[in-house]
Amino acid sequence: MKNKSQLILLVFLSSFLFALGGEKAFAADSYKLVIGGFDWGAAVQKVILANAPSDARPSDFEVFVNRSSSEGEIPENVRSGKRSVIYSYPSDENGNRKQDGSHLTLVLEVSPVQPLGSPIQYMRVGNRASNVWIDYQVTVVNTKNRQLWDQESGRIMPIVDDFELNSTFNYQDKMTLAYASFSPGNPQPKTPLIIWLHGGGEGGMDPTIALLGNRAANYASDEIQVLFGGAHVLVPQSPTFWMQAKDGTYTRGDREDVYHEALFALIDEYVKSNPSIDPKRIYVGGCSNGGYMSLKLILEHPDYFAAGYISALAYSNEFISDEQVKSIKNVPIWFVHSADDNTTKPDVTVVPLYHRLKEAGAKNVFFSYYDHVTDITGFYGGDDYFYPGHWSWIYSHANTARTDFDGSPVMLDGKPVTIMEWLAAQSKK
């Protein structure tokens, strides 16, 4: 039984194809999807067509999508529709440009206000809401020669495909955590480790969600890796959410969560299993739920981590004692937050904690504090385009955070630095 959106799309396509070619049959071929991570999340950015005419133009194609899921309900207005083709080029089967390529790659328009572009949907599954992969079906029609592509033959996820994605860690037969890991090519004997902890909507047993629910895979990108001289990247995944208490509800630091012991055991085991990792350069960071857990790990193990980088901190300041503040005052930490964050309110979380750390004598703690989270690409309005205030991790993933709480540049050895440049320079004595 097809759902309503599928039936609507089928009727629309039938009418469209009939208008083009009457009752003549269309030749059907296969396609691959290229799924990229963007500041707002995942999007299908390219479609690679097999057996396409090399001289075809972008205007020759119509691209239709249908988004469905057996996991939960997708709003009707974002279940099906058309995607815009902005460019095309001859390529090989993986989308690499080749003048005599056997395939044609269509570059699709993507933006933060085009939910039809995403193969991931935030929805309620069971008793919680989270990001999940959905059934993302594409139909491409060449309006000139009546050729059709409607069978997916594979997916390419740049950067994400460079991770090991099928690892799990069993903790004392109590719980199992999935994780993704990246190893640089030809790692040096002393290679740092970057740990990223996802937000509340990226839990589960599929770490591609943790990598693409927001742009976390970017820590394995060339532009960030070069700053560290190559770095391991570890992205553990909570089965539910990092801030889960024993009764299944959220802790804000007032009660113990159920995951921090297992998570630290995973990290420690990963470090011991990879002797090229420099134990003096282990960095932990995360956003929202993951920001809570990053701080929790630093509070529990202040001598283990070389530095922290924390966005949209969800740990409530009132539940951090003065003794705990003193215990971590010498741990380098860079906070990122937005003043209009109504989910993890800064006056309840990061602002008072930052001031307490500075008052306790912290010398290497910084705080990039934004009025709003804006479009850093300039494509969608720049500073005039506001994302939800909770999304301050954008500035960490893209390595654009560079100022302290008072707006002054963060300096290192007399030079202004970004958050990742600063992080790469941190090392335990």
* Per-residue pLDDT, 189: 86
Work out the burial of residue 174: count CB atoms within 10 Å of its CB; fewer than 13 is exposed, 13-18 middle, 19 or more buried. Answer: exposed
Q: What is the pLDDT along the chain (429 residues), one digit of tens a residue?
A: 345 444 444 445 444 544 545 444 455 899 999 999 999 999 999 999 999 988 899 999 999 999 999 988 899 999 999 999 999 999 999 999 999 999 999 999 999 999 999 999 999 887 788 999 999 999 999 999 999 999 999 999 999 999 999 999 999 999 999 999 999 988 788 999 999 999 999 999 999 999 999 899 999 999 999 999 999 999 999 999 999 999 999 999 999 999 999 999 999 999 999 999 999 999 999 999 999 999 999 999 999 999 999 999 999 999 999 999 999 999 999 999 999 999 999 999 999 999 999 999 999 999 999 999 999 999 999 999 999 999 999 999 999 999 999 999 999 999 999 999 999 999 998
Instruction: Spell out the domains of the chain, with CATH numbers in brackets.
Output: 4-156 (2.60.40.2180), 160-424 (3.40.50.1820)
Beta-bridge partners for 89 = 105
Q: What letters, b where the CB count within 10 A reaches 16 and e where it falls short, cover 189-199?
A: eebbbbbbbbb
Structure token pair of residue 414: 């007399």
From CA 398, how far away is CA 216, in angstroms rounded?
9
Place of tokens 């059907």: 28
Work out the burial of residue 19: count CB atoms within 10 Å of its CB; fewer than 13 is exposed, 13-18 middle, 19 or more buried. Answer: exposed
Least Cα distance to 349 among 405, 302, 382, 311 occurs for 311
From CA 236, how far away is CA 315, in angstroms rounded?
19
| DSSP secondary structure string for all residues of 364-425 | SEEEEEESSEE-SSSSS-GGG-EE-TT-TTHHHHTT---B-TTSPBPEETTEE--HHHHHHT
Q: What is the largest CA-CA distance in the chain?
A: 78
Each residue of 116-135: pLDDT tens digit?
999 999 998 877 889 999 99
Identity at 323, one-letter amino acid code:
E
Model's pTM, two decimal places? 0.93
78, HSE (Cβ side, Cα atoms, 13 Å): 17
From CA 242, how far away is CA 238, in angstroms rounded?
6
Q: How far apart are the first and last CA of the chain?
A: 64
Q: Note whether 270 and 262 are within 8 A (CB).
A: no
Q: What letters, b where the CB count within 10 A reaches 16 and e where it falls short, cover 51-74?
A: ebeeebeeebbbbbbbbbbebeeb
From CA 45, how far away is CA 118, in angstroms rounded?
9
Least Cα distance to 149 among 63, 31, 40, 243 occurs for 31
